[in-house]
Chain A
Amino acid sequence: MNHYSDLEILKARAEAVQVVVTEVPDLAQAWRYAVELTQKQGGAALAAPGWDAESLAALEQECVQAGLRLFWQNLRNQVDGFHTGLTRADRGIAATGTLVLDSTSEDVRLATMLCKTYVAVLPRSRIKADALALEKELSRLMHSPPRYLAFITGASRTSDIERVLTLGVHGPLELHLLILED
């Protein structure tokens, strides 16, 4: 029997639900990835809430160079205004290929729901084998409300018309996962 690492399992499970998984050495690479992807897909703006000021400054610089707009707050005023959502994922769950996001901030929710393409950055050290391994941590978060936690596994999907799998019915049409070396 082969023993796969949690990272390998997470990748395999995520790819099985059409997630594009890429490993990046640092955040600078992540910014470049998100910006180039947005350009390639003809998008004009990114929404990137929840990042610290230093990270945002670097990202903004990339965006300006590429001629893209960047939003990081008050996204409700931009509901139709961004192509790409770019956030950090707090945890990864290997067994199901799932990302866990504390989405208590409304901007984080909107960025991940209203974009066409969602790019998540998951630090490699944040992967756990399964959901039960996160039980205590999640439970602690739930005990400090208000709390809006999201498990995200792949893009928005439906099979409601003749059971044909179709991506992007309401939320993102694509999910790109960047595994960040840390």
Chain B
Amino acid sequence: MINTAQDLKEYKKRLKKALHNEFLRTTLKNFYEAYPAGRARALEGLDIQSLRAEIASCKDQALPRIEELFEAFKAQAEAAGVKVHLARTARDANEIIAAIAKDHGVRKIVKSKSMTAEETFLNHHLEEEGLEVVETDLGEWIIQLRREGPSHMVLPAIHLSRQEVAELFAKVTGEPQDPEDIGKLVKVARRELRKQFLSADMGISGANFAIAASGTLGIISNEGNARLITTLPRMHVALVGLDKLVPDLHTALTILKVLPPSATGQVITSYVTWITGAPECAAAPEGKKEMHVVFLDNGRLALARDPVFSQALRCVRCGACANVCPIYSLVGGHNYGHVYIGAIGLILTYFYHGRKNAQAIVQNCLNCQACKSVCPAGIDLPHLIKETYGEVLRQGYPKPFKNKLLARVLKDRRLFHFLLRRAYLAQKPLARSAEGFIRHLPFFFGKEHGFRSLPAIAKTPFRDMWPRLYERVDHPRYRVALFGGCLVDFVYPEQGHALVKLLKNRGVQLEYPMAQTCCGLPALAMGEKNVAREVALQNLKAFDPADYDYLITLCASCASHLKEAYPRLLADAPGLVGKVRQLTDKLMDFSSFMINVLRVSAEEFHGSRRKVAYHAPCHLCRGLGVTQEPRNLLAAAGLDYRTARREDVCCGMAGSYSFEFPELSAELLRQKLEAVEETGAELLVTDCPGCVLQLRGGIDKRGGKVRVKHIAEAVAEERKEP
């Protein structure tokens, strides 16, 4: 049975165990690495962006009309001889289906895969009612025999090895099985399950689509078991979430274009079955199938009206969010969801399976945006995960001390900056001043935090250097404000200094408004929306966008937070909505400014051809969608850019994540640095001070030779004297 960790301590214990499961790690890593190319191949020739927008908009329009669509479906289906039911709760659904079975003298049921039936724990209920239920999807059958929940929405048994399956099948058949012959193992399933198809009284399926216009069910499958269970037994019952209702075939066919590529990298699955009305069935008393469709509400109708969370119902259950999740690739589905797995699982668990099952797992998100970038329905998954965590906290999950501290400190810039300055003094005895690291971790860190060296707070923050660096420019071409962010200001002021050097003699009037403060991302990451809103207001006061042509940042995370979260946080702030829009319109990352605005060229640089590798920060390549400019800038600056594996995979920093889940962070960092070292680069550059912290600290710890710099520093070093 499914047993999800309900507190962080237990959860972390299980994560550690998963990290040490060699088979799981290898199989998930192979899948993680193979998936993107498969998906891309299957989507070749399709305009995924516009398909995604179309699906999102179709779903968003359908959601407020679910009841209407349900009535339309019901009218069509009933006219064609199907009985349609609506279950308010999971228990209602199970009882309705059990009653249908009993009323018709059913003893054996064959099932095809249905996440909705997993959601309601239907099998468990039917078995308690004395019915025999056999899962017929191979993966589902395997986990049913093992009494486990699925570890992936599409590949439910991905966590199991061939040896484990062979052992299991040996028990089932009473004959030894060769684990090396997977074809033969599959034949065992074919033989065993064929008997079940032929002797069952009832088939239970889910559905990927319920088309309101015609009362049609659409079912996607590869194995063909859905066809068999809807054909051979005399009865068919489909359990369908209300969110699967679509107005018409057009919508279903549009979703079908992207669902299989997103799920398994297939252009289409082997079978797509469209059932309208009760079809002929020689095994049924009157030659016509007894057919029922049970729609499940279980909170969906209310969720559909939720201003924030309704988009979770756009989900088409492809599992892509798990396929690209760096955390899923390390710990697997049993540690990354309850019934629903992956990013969407962290959210839906809260709604369908309760706060207790969600409260630990929902904290395990890097906010790396990989899931959001592939979701075929355009769900803003990282945003909803943070919102879910915020809900969990509001509902009484004990607030971590860091949240209380943060709420107090972050809202008061003067206090926050005072504390940072005090931290410099406090760390002095610990500092290795030459390298910029602290020698020992402060006492409150456990040894699992030792995977990277931590930087020392700078002696002179950027804001204190600024009066000396400031230069008035007569008749500037561009008026530019720098949004520094805490790390540039207090830890890596040299990155800001590099920017100043690079802008010298280019007609840029640079300003550094002193009232600016933390962007607020750490607050949002901890589910503290009010604090995030408060600092957003302060920053908007510090920067009047009307004063500048551009607002530039050296920190991808700050930039992406300003751009994405500020409009949401301040949507209800009178008089500020327009200002926020101006601010986000003028916001630009460093590399884009250099390439697209200043149009720097090779003549300005020495052309040293130093070998560099590049790490693409999550919040730059996915958050802001900036991918070409940093690479073009490296080329323009005369650096020899070497591509690395996993270039756009999270380095594991992810703000406070690396402190909450140090072992996972360390593993992502290890994989990242290995890939960088393979390139033979002497220098690793990136455009986010947070990533610099992680990567530089990691190199220091492993005694690596690669130096890590912010791209602004690396490019500044290459510039000829202006």
Contacts and interface: CB of A to CB of B under 8 A. Distances in A.
Interface stretch (A21-29, A64-72, A102-110): A102-110
Interface string B171-191: 000000000001101100110
B228 A171 contact: yes
B214 A157 contact: no
Nearest to A13: B267
Given A76-B283, A166-B182, A148 B274 contact: yes
A160 B145 CA distance: 14
Contact of A169 (B31, B198, B211, B223): B223
A158 B278 contact: no
Contacts of A145: 76, 79-81, 214-215, 276-277
A127 to B, nearest CB: 15
B273 interface: yes
Nearest to B256: A131
Contact of A170 (B190, B216, B281): B190
A123 interface: no
A158 B157 CA distance: 12
A160 to B, nearest CB: 4
Contacts of A168: 186, 190
B267 A97 contact: yes
A152 B222 CA distance: 10
Interface string A132-161: 100100110011011111111111111111
Nearest to A75: B282
Interface string B191-215: 0011001100000000000010111
Interface stretch (B6-14, B85-93, B158-166): B158-166
Interface string B526-544: 0000000000000000000
Contacts of A172: 224
Nearest to A96: B268
B214 A142 contact: yes
Nearest to A155: B270
Contacts of A164: 182
Given A145-B80, A160-B155, A169 B214 contact: no
Interface string B214-228: 111000001111011
B273 A166 contact: no
Contacts of A104: 279-280
B409 interface: no
Contact of B222 (A132, A142, A146, A157): A157
A40 interface: no
B157 A160 contact: yes
A163 B27 contact: yes
A79 B277 CA distance: 24
Given A74-B282, A135-B250, A166 B155 contact: no
A54 interface: no
B364 interface: no
A160 B277 contact: no
B627 interface: no
A170 B228 contact: yes
B31 A163 contact: yes
B interface: dominant SS: mixed
A161 B227 contact: no
Nearest to B226: A170
B465 to A, nearest CB: 54
- Interface centre among B160, B215, B223, B224, by most A CB within 10 Å? B224
A152 B224 CA distance: 9
B222 A158 contact: yes
A75 to B, nearest CB: 9
B264 interface: yes
A166 B279 contact: no
B40 interface: no
B138 interface: yes
A6 B205 CA distance: 34
Given A147-B277, A150-B227, A98 B80 contact: no
Nearest to B273: A150
Interface residues of B, number: 70
A154 B282 contact: no
Given A146-B279, A160-B157, A169-B189, A151 B272 contact: yes
B214 A139 contact: yes
Contacts of A156: 222-224, 270-271
B216 A142 contact: yes
B274 A138 contact: yes
Nearest to B227: A113
A113 B165 contact: no
A162 B157 CA distance: 8
Contacts of A135: 249-250, 253
A160 B138 contact: yes
A165 to B, nearest CB: 9
B96 interface: no
Contacts of B249: 135, 138-139, 142
Given A106-B280, A146-B80, A151-B271, A166 B183 contact: yes
* Most central of B139, B197, B227, B228 by chain A CB within 10 Å: B227
Contact of A163 (B142, B158, B272, B276): B158
B272 A146 contact: no
B282 A171 contact: no
Nearest to B136: A170
Contacts of A159: 155, 222, 264
A158 B275 CA distance: 23
A148 B190 CA distance: 24
Contact of B211 (A79, A106, A142, A150): A142
Nearest to B165: A161
Contact of B155 (A97, A113, A148, A163): A163
Nearest to B31: A163
A161 B211 contact: no
B283 A162 contact: no
A96 B160 CA distance: 31
Q: Which A-B residue pairs are the 9 nearest by beta carbons?
A: A145-B277, A171-B224, A146-B277, A145-B80, A160-B139, A151-B272, A142-B214, A156-B224, A149-B274
27 contacts: A17-B270, A76-B282, A76-B283, A97-B267, A106-B280, A106-B281, A110-B231, A131-B256, A142-B276, A145-B79, A145-B276, A145-B277, A148-B275, A149-B276, A150-B271, A153-B269, A156-B271, A158-B139, A158-B223, A160-B139, A160-B156, A161-B182, A162-B27, A162-B161, A162-B182, A169-B186, A169-B224
Given A160-B155, A161-B165, A171-B228, 18 more contacts: A13-B267, A97-B268, A109-B231, A113-B224, A131-B257, A135-B250, A138-B274, A142-B276, A146-B278, A147-B275, A149-B273, A153-B268, A156-B223, A160-B137, A160-B139, A161-B160, A161-B162, A169-B225
